[in-house]
Amino acid sequence: MRVLGIETSCDETAAAVVTADRRIVAARVHSQLEAHAPYAGVVPEIAARAHLERTDRVVAATMEEAGLAFADLDGIAATAGPGLIGGLLVGLMTGKAIAAVHDRPLVAANHLEGHALTARLTDGVDFPYLLLLASGGHCQLLDVQDVGRCRRLGGTIDDAVGEAFDKVARMLGLGYPGGPAVEAAARDGDAARFPLPRPMKGRPGCDFSFSGLKTAVRHTVEGLPPGAPDDRDVADLCAAFQEAVGDVLADRCARALAETGAPRLVVAGGVAANRALKARLERVADGAGVPLHAPPVPLCTDNGAMIAWAGVERLRRGLTDGLDAAARPRWPLTELTG
């Protein structure tokens, strides 16, 4: 089985061809970072226009790299949500057009399910597992039992963790995207210099909160002497912030592992690319006696391979969608069916 995946939910125009035996035959990503960097965040209209200009070319380049014609495919998967509606419409309509013209089954894929299933593509992970899905727009813990069967254990009550990284980076003048910039600055920092809170740590349940931590960083910056923050201040603040985030993620994951008895921990989403946070979660998994699975860095951020793989998983279960499938800006994993 060979499936084309198309991803346009935010600021990456991506496509990939993946097989049922877990091979990524071809993959292309066009990043919009330069277009959005002046605004320190994603501008929906700019993103939609870029997808409109690029999606056909990215798909064509992917198919050329794969050495395949559309008629050689066994299905088309395109992200239908959640995400920015303009971009979703571009990718989904492209997928529908290919499926209709070449008489191929369509999967209107859930972007979050793409992230949730990536460890099965990269590591062949069996169900069930505990999933920490952490990115710029999402932060939640899920008990993943099967395709379309996820139980939400907890989520953020305010900012997503990746969003908090972006906002802290903006405060410190580190640019966009904030996650890699904060991680790089933190490597030379003293995490003990600035005491920061650990919101929700030790509390019942598996929810997260990062707004108060972000505010604490802002208050710390405002309390520095004139002329600050200098490079040392920035490095130390980044290290303190990153360590606080790691403590919160570790506490919430440990609690969820104890609650579910899950045999493995999976981390997915852009935050999974952060080496310091991944190392912190490895210690949590070791303490619980379970393995940790995280995708390689290129598959942590948005990509076409995860959407193609979600298509593979659904197609081999006979789950397809009609050409009337709608784009959905909001689409929780708990609303999926398998």
pLDDT reading at 338 higher than 80: no
* β-sheet bridge partners, residue 151: 143
The CA distance from 266 to 133, in Å, is 8
The CA distance from 52 to 44, in Å, is 12
More confident residue, 69 or 272: 69
Largest CA distance in the chain: 66
Phi then psi for 176, rounded to 5 degrees?
-130, 140
The CA distance from 234 to 223, in Å, is 13
Q: Which residues have CB under 8 Å from 229's CB, separation 6+?
A: 172, 221, 237
Type of residue numbered 125: V
The pair of three-digit structure tokens given for residue 84, joined into one six-digit string: 């920015």
pLDDT over 90 percentage in the chain? 92
The CA distance from 274 to 260, in Å, is 25
The pair of three-digit structure tokens given for residue 204, joined into one six-digit string: 């019942």
| Mean predicted lDDT score pLDDT of the chain | 96
Q: How far, CA to CA in Å, does 149 sit from each of 99, 129, 212, 309, 338?
A: 26, 11, 32, 16, 6
Task: Quick: pLDDT tens for 140-189.
Answer: 999 999 999 999 999 999 999 999 999 999 999 998 889 999 999 999 99
* Residue among 312, 207, 315, 196 at smallest CA distance from 251: 207
Give Cα 27 to chain centroid, integer Å.
Answer: 17
Q: Dump strand ranges (E) for the chain.
A: 2-7, 12-19, 24-31, 75-81, 106-110, 129-134, 139-146, 149-155, 265-268, 292-293
pLDDT band at 193 (very low <50, low <70, confident <90, very high): very high
* β-sheet bridge partners, residue 12: 31
What does the pLDDT read at residue 135? 87
pLDDT over 70 percentage in the chain? 100
Task: Quick: pLDDT tens for 76-107.
Answer: 999 999 999 999 999 999 999 999 999 999 99
Q: Which domains does the chain have, with CATH numbers?
A: 2-117+299-335 (3.30.420.40), 128-297 (3.30.420.40)
Q: What is the pTM of this model?
A: 0.95
pLDDT reading at 33 higher than 90: no
Torsion sign (Cα): 129, 132, 136, 138: positive
More confident residue, 158 or 337: 158
pLDDT band at 271 (very low <50, low <70, confident <90, very high): confident
What does the pLDDT read at residue 40? 80
The CA distance from 226 to 311, in Å, is 55
pLDDT reading at 138 higher than 80: yes
